[in-house]
Amino acid sequence: MAAPGALLLLGLFLAAPPGLGQGSGQRRRQPPPRGPLDKVAAQEGLSLPQLAGRWFLVAVASRCGSLAEHGHRLEATAVTVTVPDGQSLALSTFRKLAGLCWEIRQRYRPAQAPGRFLLQGRGYGSKVDVVVGETDHRSYAILYYQKGRSVSVKLYGRSSRVSDAVADKFEQRVRAVGLSEDVTHYFPTYGFCDSADEFHILDETEP
């Protein structure tokens, strides 16, 4: 049976040639290339405990080929967030696959600055950078995901529908990272799973 591990909808690569030293002609170590998310500011005053609780995935913007091909078959997706250690976010994502409810468990570990996290998946090259770009903690959250140089943006709501003002904020942020409405997909607002049995749990919290 296929697994719904592609819930985060990410992709692509990060690379840059080394710089050359000036004058002597010797190679000189340069700072690492800036990734797309380096230009995205994290939410100031972010409170992880206030992010805890139930969220609904409202929309995602991504150039993921699989999403483009199967976007018309998206399933309602809910997420339960906890803060197990005060620094990281533990996510349990619930969605249907072939009519059955699955739970995907992930851990967003703290990165180099507040509001920035690292999602370490299984396998080589599976690291994903995550930034909480904007949230009021009460009604919506906009998160950025980067794998290599590919970025996706997700909109979460405390309910399955958000206000027009919040949708506008999301669409503005999508455009700011070079994405567009052509690669933006909105999720169903009904048919959510609340739990999954022990045979339909994907635990991605361990390497």
Q: What are phi and psi of 176, to 5 degrees?
A: -65, -25
Map tokens 């290599």 to a residue: 148
Topology of the domain covering 50-203: Lipocalin (2.40.128)
Helix, strand, coil percentages for the chain (3-state, nearest 5): 20, 35, 45
Three-class SS state of 189: coil
Residue 77 has pLDDT above 80, yes or no: yes
Strands 100-110 and 201-203: parallel
Question: 82 burial class (0-12, 13-18, 19+ CB within 10 angstroms)?
Answer: middle
Supply the pLDDT for residue 130: 97
Distance (Å, whole) CA 73 – CA 62: 16
| Residue 32: predicted pLDDT | 56
- 173's enclosing H/E stretch is helix 164-176
Delimit the domains of the chain by residue range. 50-203
Model pTM score? 0.81
DSSP labels for 126-154? -EEEEEEEEE-SSSEEEEEEEETTEEEEE
Structure tokens given for 157: 């709501």
More confident residue, 6 or 137: 137
| 37/39 Cα distance (integer angstroms) | 5
Model confidence pLDDT, tens digit, residues 27-64: 556 555 567 888 999 999 999 999 999 999 999 999 98
